[in-house]
Amino acid sequence: MGPDPKVARGVSPFAMGLLLFLGLCLTGLGGYQLFRLNDTHLRNEVLYPVSPGTLQVWLATLDSTDPENAARLADRFVSMTLPQRRDAVLAIAQPEFFEVMGLSFTDRRSLQMLTLQALGLALAKAPALGEFWFLSAKLRNGLFGFDATAQHHLELSFTYSPKEVDLVLERLKMTSVAWPLLGARLKDIVRHDVRIVDQAYPDRAAELREYLHRAGAKL
């Protein structure tokens, strides 16, 4: 019995060409992704885990007067995984994130402004990333006070990430300071968040309720 003529012929030139084309496409895509990572990350971050600490180091290398850096930071925000995004937001929301960089007051404020601008660009691309709405409200509150834009961004963070407990805790800290400035709808949402903390972090609930009571909140 002779060999199967289909097997003997092997792979057709068309199939070989198709495989070669797909291989080149994958190689090109991998190279493009590596190029993008090199543009928005430290070189070591391409090989090792990304963390708020490595983000902090990368931010310190940016020229905050260059608008292209806002776009680079926005790309980095959008490309983050959910855990990276959560960790970055919780870290940047703390005042010491920028304070420990050793920058002058003016340079630190410029970097915070750059971060706020990058958040706006990121949210224009991906408005459902609720953590970034909260961070935008938090940074804006620190830079300009709790204005109408900060309040609107805070409301959007409730809309797009209503039950992420770590974020709920940070939002309650912020609203305990801004309570007298909140609208009725936002105050009702805050009361709902307090109930979430009662269930998830009962040891923290009493502390947060005390903050809110001091601000005049009726829960």
- Return the amino acid letter for 212: L
**131 vs 204, residue with greater confidence:** 131
The share of the chain scoring above pLDDT 90, in percent, equals 39
The predicted-structure confidence for 105-156, as pLDDT tens digits, reads as follows 999 999 999 999 999 999 999 999 999 999 999 999 999 998 999 989 998 9
Across 33-37, 50-54, 198-202, least confident range: 33-37
Sort 16 into a burial class: Cβ within 10 Å, 0-12 / 13-18 / 19+.
exposed
The answer to whether residues 179 and 215 touch, using CB atoms and an 8 Å cutoff, is yes
Cα–Cα dist 19/16, whole Å = 5
The answer to whether residues 72 and 39 touch, using CB atoms and an 8 Å cutoff, is yes
Looking at the predicted structure, is the pLDDT value of residue 42 above 60?
A: no
pLDDT at 8: 43
The answer to whether residues 123 and 160 touch, using CB atoms and an 8 Å cutoff, is no
Q: Average pLDDT, whole number, for the chain?
A: 81
Cα–Cα dist 40/96, whole Å = 23
- How many residues make up the chain in this entry? 219
Cα–Cα dist 134/117, whole Å = 14
pLDDT at 34: 41
217 pLDDT band (50/70/90 cuts)? confident
The answer to whether residues 73 and 40 touch, using CB atoms and an 8 Å cutoff, is yes
The predicted-structure confidence for 66-112, as pLDDT tens digits, reads as follows 989 999 999 999 999 988 999 999 999 998 999 999 899 999 999 99
Instruction: For the beta carbon of residue 120, count every other beta carbon within 10 angstroms.
Output: 15
